Amino acid sequence: MRTTQIILALALAGAAYAEKPAEKAPGGLMKLDMDQLSTVPLGNVYSASKAKQKAARAPATVTVITALDVRRYGWRNLADILRSVRGFYVTNDRNYSYVGVRGFGRPADYNSRVLVLIDNHRINDPIYGAAYVGNDGVLDVDLIDRVEVVRGPSSSLYGTGAFFAVVNIFTRTGAAMKTKELNGEVGHLGTHRGRVTLGHEFDDGSHALASFTGYGSDGARRLFFPEFAGINGGIAQDADRETYDSAFAKVEHKGFTLDYGQVKRDKTIPTASFGTVFNSNGSSTVDQLKFVHGRYDRELSPRTSLMAQAYANQSEYVGTYVNDPLGTGVPTDFVNNKDLSFGSWWVGNVQLTEQLSPRARLVVGAEYQKNQRVDQSNFDENPFVLRLDDRRKSFLWGAYTEAEVQLMRNLTFNAGVRYDFFSQSGETTNPRLALIATPRDGTVLKLLYGTAFRAPNNFELFYADGGISQKPAGVLKNESIATYEGVWEQQLTDGLRGTAAYYYYQMYDLVDQIIDPADGLIVFTNQDVIDAKGVELELAGRFPRGIEGRLSYALQRTRVRITDAELTNSPQNQAKANLSIPLADRKYFFSLDGQYVGGRLTAAGGRQGGYSVVNATLFSQKLLRSMDLSATVYNVFDRKFADLGGPEHVQEFIPQDGRNFRLKATTRF
């Protein structure tokens, strides 16, 4: 700890005292053509302070992904997007995708430690804290305008679950809604997808959009798992199918925005998770989410603006698990177990943003969430045996404020705090402090401190399956985290920006599964303190002729304090590379998207070697007048790699797809 502190301090001191470089030639952007100029980001972000501000002034480090990035890199879902983000990694168990950040990635946590927002409205549910990022995600990535990824704790603004990061997805807005599009895709493993999007601009300047997406995939026809070598030679046949359909609609009228989204995904489980029958292809999960969200923004005066939002979400999960209670292997002896949940909740949020003076801004807000139905049940179908019927209601409210004060021309202080009361797990207060300096043009230094919490969800508190495998915890404390961060952002040349960040966090009362030795049942308990630290380095470049790229490296070390052991599924090293090159007078973009995920400790105590994957996309925006075409080869070098299994898996490793492809055509009419 001490050494790293000294290094950080030296780095900051060096930055402050370093020789002033030769005056940067103004207007470096003059070298860019109009196409490029139209994609130069202005550097504004919203999600770090719930108010528009320059990313350089934000009390966190923020990565912004644009709609153009999504298209030219061939990203298929939010998981693909996040894989490219510095310090993020995704673990896929061929059913769900779990996001890891800063060395912390718990398979089976349903992303409850990353807050996912769509147009500033919370997606994570109260049952599992879940926000799905794979094909089960509620929003078609083609409808994304931009994604802001805010690192670090943000409970000071957002309350529960804004633990490691906030991912805010902004959908198309304004003139960008004014399109009519038809999109078709085919991919390997019998994958096909279609989308129709209809948008309109009315004479009074308001906009409306409706979009529908359908998807189907056979998945891997034969998946080999050596752990099940005794059954069908270890091959799971036709057990990787996936279908989804989703819809999204949005209306903007003056300051009002109303949006509706829904998704229903059905996935066959090939891994025989939770002790189910291997190679039965009858085990599956169906996940649904629906939401309606209204928002009103109004400038009450030139200095004061009001934001009011209200939304209602509904989630439904049906898991079908084929069990063989007698262990005969005879299909007539199999019993279907149904695992269900239903959630219905609504939220109201009001916020005032006041520019007190040119140098001071204040944000004040309050939020109320009513969890109308948080139901979990479990039963065997035939013969009928009810194992769980747990119905709950809960509520929470929070009040928050954040002040940004420019102490000197080049020094900004940002302080925020939020109080939360949750009917199930009590009250908590979480601050965030940031000191942001621009000692000279092109240099930004940030010192950040913040805490965050995650209220235990109802799955962790109350789930049980009648004494077969899991019993309820009943009472759990909030999980909490304290994070310290130092960030140095440096404009190196006109087009090249460097970021170096150091973080240290302590996590308390981690809610995780253990097996109670008294009865052999799984139960969630609050566990020991976790210490972690890491360094992240990134270069982002934008060069003449439209070449753009990012290169990042993350070094992360996690440690369970009491045992001094590293966390499982915590890669010590990660690297990402993204490069997009326009060809033939910008008719085509050739883009490479590569990730390296370093070695990870497995749940069984083994160590998995690192892997790297490279994806390549050829994208044409103007090949035909109104048609975009793209072709992507994923995992170009056909690397055999696997992600780690979770506690519900017999498998230590779950193999991922080898080389595969996708062709995509989008036409506007």
Partner 1 sequence: MSRSSLHSRSARLLALALACLIAGTSATRAALDEELQVQAAYLYNFVKFCAWPDDAEGSPLVIGLIGGNPFGSALDELKGAVVKGRTIHVREIAGADAARHCHVLYVARPAHGRAVEVVSALGSLPVLTVSEAPGFARAGGVIEFAVVSDTVKFKVNVGAARRHSLKLSSQLLGVAIEVVKE
Q: Which helix (H) or strand (E) holds 14?
A: helix 2-17
CA atoms within 13 A on the CB side of 341: 25
- Give the whole-angstrom CA distance, residue 442 versus residue 494: 10
Residue 144's closest CA among 238, 54, 213? Answer: 213
CB of residue 409 to partner 1, shortest distance in Å: 7
- Give the whole-angstrom CA distance, residue 135 versus residue 72: 19
- Give the whole-angstrom CA distance, residue 359 versus residue 104: 37
DSSP state letter for 172: P
CB of residue 315 to partner 1, shortest distance in Å: 30
CB of residue 433 to partner 1, shortest distance in Å: 9
CB of residue 482 to partner 1, shortest distance in Å: 7
Binding site for partner 1 (CB under 8 A): 1, 5, 8-9, 12-13, 15-17, 20, 25-27, 29-30, 32-35, 37-44, 64, 66-67, 145-146, 173-176, 408-411, 435, 437-442, 445, 447, 449, 482, 484, 486, 506, 531
Strand partners, 539: 498, 551
Kindly tell me which of 42 and 584 has the beta carbon lying closer to partner 1: 42
Kindly tell me which of 175 and 356 has the beta carbon lying closer to partner 1: 175
**Single-letter amino acid, residue 54:** K
CB of residue 408 to partner 1, shortest distance in Å: 6
Specify whether the CB–CB gap between 110 and 130 falls below 8 A. yes
Kindly tell me which of 439 and 466 has the beta carbon lying closer to partner 1: 439
CB of residue 545 to partner 1, shortest distance in Å: 15
- Give the whole-angstrom CA distance, residue 413 versus residue 475: 38
Kindly tell me which of 5 and 328 has the beta carbon lying closer to partner 1: 5
Kindly tell me which of 343 and 450 has the beta carbon lying closer to partner 1: 450
Kindly tell me which of 95 and 168 has the beta carbon lying closer to partner 1: 168
Strand partners, 534: 503, 556
- Give the whole-angstrom CA distance, residue 345 versus residue 396: 11
CB of residue 595 to partner 1, shortest distance in Å: 26
Kindly tell me which of 561 and 639 has the beta carbon lying closer to partner 1: 561
Kindly tell me which of 367 and 494 has the beta carbon lying closer to partner 1: 494
Residue 350's closest CA among 325, 371, 368, 332? Answer: 368
Kindly tell me which of 43 and 606 has the beta carbon lying closer to partner 1: 43
Kindly tell me which of 49 and 279 has the beta carbon lying closer to partner 1: 49
- Listed as own residue / partner, the contacts of 229-237 with beta carbons closer than 8 Å and 24 or more positions apart are 231/278, 231/279, 231/329, 232/278, 232/279, 235/279, 236/270, 236/271, 236/272, 236/278, 236/279, 236/281, 237/279, 237/281
Residue 443's closest CA among 7, 1, 13, 6? Answer: 13
CB of residue 17 to partner 1, shortest distance in Å: 6
Neighbours of 297 (CB within 10 A): 15
- Give the whole-angstrom CA distance, residue 294 versus residue 292: 7
- Give the whole-angstrom CA distance, residue 337 versus residue 98: 24
Kindly tell me which of 356 and 407 has the beta carbon lying closer to partner 1: 407
Which tokens belong to 373? 């139905």
CB of residue 171 to partner 1, shortest distance in Å: 11
SS3 (DSSP) at 424: coil
Q: In degrees rounded to 5, what are phi and psi of residue 296? A: -130, 125
Strand partners, 117: 122, 168
CB of residue 65 to partner 1, shortest distance in Å: 12
CB of residue 161 to partner 1, shortest distance in Å: 22
CB of residue 456 to partner 1, shortest distance in Å: 21
Kindly tell me which of 9 and 492 has the beta carbon lying closer to partner 1: 9
Reported residue count of the chain is 669
3-state secondary structure string across 85-112: CCCEEEEECCCCEEEEECCECCCCCCCC
